[in-house]
Amino acid sequence: MTDQNTPRRTARSRALVERSRTVIPGGAQTGLRAQAFYPTEIAFESAKDATLTSVDGEQYTDYHLGFGPIILGHRHEAVDAAARAAIDDGVLFGAATSPLEVEVAERIVELLPSVEQVNFCNSGSEATYHAIRLARAYTGNEKILKFEGCYHGWHDYVDISVYPPEEHVGERYPESDGMLEAAVDNTLVVPFNDPDALREVMVEHGDDLAGVILEPVPHSVGSLLPTEAFLDALEAETDAHDVPLIFDEVITGFRHSPHGAQGEFDVDPDLTCVAKALGNGYPVAAVGGKKKLMSQAGGDNTSGVIISGTYSGNFLGLAAARETLRIIEDDGVQDHVTDLGESYRAGLSDLLEDHGHEGRVVGHRSIFSVQFGVTGEPRQYTDIVGLDQEKFRAYAKGMRERNHFFTPNPFKRHHLSFAHTDDDRTQYLDDADEVLSDL
């Protein structure tokens, strides 16, 4: 790590950022990356374990972890070896079935309590897109119910009311220009953790709904933990109206538990989407669920749902997934990252109090967030919308200057991996002590 008093080397990073903006919209491959990271003017060229290295040779402890997929640490030797071995037999057949895809599908069925069949794809957005199509085909309906503050990908079906400005809270708020108006009109939005609001919508629209989709723990806005009353209402209402319940476990799946949030909270969804931690950074995702829904994609004359993708089930991603799942189960990954997460959250909470900052530390297991300007346990998006965004960006800048990297987006989160250590935590908290004193 570079000492804070050592002049920082950023010339190559700044030059590459400017060069990228000429040929790439916003200078990054997603608008979110451009918005969140490019004001930092850092360009990375390598990573190992819990460390990122910039093109200037600066090293940072990584709490971003690619928006969360890196559960084991960068360049995990066993996962990378499995991927290299898969290359020797060919990375893509795009025809019929392979032993590897059967084996990984069987493993997911064993691990996730509600899942009976699996289709692979390459990203969380694809998985939620497929899940909604399956739900619409099963019910014959078009409307989707989602919850304010939950993110399910970039597509028109659900990119609605994820981070609505305060004046648009409680409304259907499209997050992007160019969205199909009919898709927005067919999406209903209610507050998370509000059983009464859920029941009201189900009374009015239950017979018209294709599905109910949610992040069981909405980590896209830091962390909202579901109440037991809310989860009970979800199961009861969707069962009563025969509406598929879709768990978007793109973030929670295999990061918090080998059995997903559904296993942790004892909920039985009809469809489940997983990605991110499934492959420790390799592009692999899946939609799985009850056979009554999944069999619609069977491809025979009686099944009319198209789930397709040339690179779906590519062997690089599947080999990484098989090895990642094995390590998660065998090596005590969740125990390590959960214990670390608890100690980071406790230490940061003490520091906020010591320095007199109004705020809170939220999170679950291996995820934590610092939220300035708001207090109390958040249950809904309305409990987050008033946070002090500029103060968080100043905190992120101060920590970045001390070689800790996480997204400066105040609504997002820190992630921990199996490669993070007690020494990383001690250094983070020591430096946070300095930054919070300076703010």
- Series of mean pLDDT values for 10-residue runs along the chain (439 residues): 61 88 83 67 93 96 97 98 94 87 98 98 97 98 98 96 95 95 96 98 97 98 98 98 98 97 98 98 98 89 80 95 97 97 98 98 98 97 96 96 95 97 98 97
Q: Which residues pair with 52 in a beta bridge?
A: 47, 60
Residue 3 lies in a domain: no
Catalytic annotation, pick one of 62, 248, 270, 431: 248
Are residues 245 and 270 in contact, defined by beta-carbon separation less than 8 angstroms? Answer: yes
Catalytic annotation, pick one of 63, 151, 157, 282: 151
Residue 281 lies in a domain: yes
Of 313, 330, 347, which residue constitutes the final position of a domain? 330
Helices (H), 214-365: 228-241, 260-265, 291-294, 315-330, 333-354
pLDDT at 37: 61
Are residues 116 and 293 in contact, defined by beta-carbon separation less than 8 angstroms? Answer: no
Q: Is 290 a catalytic residue?
A: no
Q: Is 151 a catalytic residue?
A: yes
Parallel, antiparallel or unpaired: strands 117-121 and 414-415: unpaired
- Tell me the backbone φ, ψ of residue 28, rounded to 5 degrees: -150, 165
Q: How many domains does the chain have?
A: 2
207, 273: one domain: yes
196, 265: one domain: yes
165, 206: one domain: yes
Range of the domain at 215: 77-330
Residue 409 lies in a domain: yes
DSSP state for residue 312 in the 8-state scheme: T
307, 181: one domain: yes
Helix axes 77-87, 315-330, angle to 10 degrees: 150
**Tokens at residue 10, please?**
């950023």
Alpha carbon distance 29, 32 (integer Å): 9
Residue 306 lies in a domain: yes
**Tokens at residue 64, please?**
């971003």
**Tokens at residue 35, please?**
């918005």
65, 111: one domain: no
Catalytic annotation, pick one of 56, 63, 138, 276: 276
In Å, the largest CA–CA distance within the chain is 69
What is the pTM for the complete model shown? Answer: 0.95
pLDDT at 5: 52
